[in-house]
Amino acid sequence: MKTVTLEVGNTSWWKNRKYRREAAKELRELRLKYKRIKFLKKYRAQEANTIIYADYKIMK
């Protein structure tokens, strides 16, 4: 079992669009390779960062 962290969003609307598109592409590629991916949690870092992260668990 492996955990993957992806940047899935941002507080800015135009950056949010960019990050969501990139995350969707990455998830599509991971699902083709591993078939089972489970969403764990979504969070923001404690620093002055506006990026939203999400953790996914890869089950083989």
Report the alpha-carbon distance of residue 15 to residue 50 in Å, rounded: 10
CA angle 39, 52, 48 (to 5 degrees): 150
pLDDT of residue 10: 95
pLDDT digit string, tens, across residues 2-50: 999 999 999 999 999 999 999 999 999 999 999 899 999 999 988 888 9
Sign of CA dihedral 49, 28, 32, 54: positive
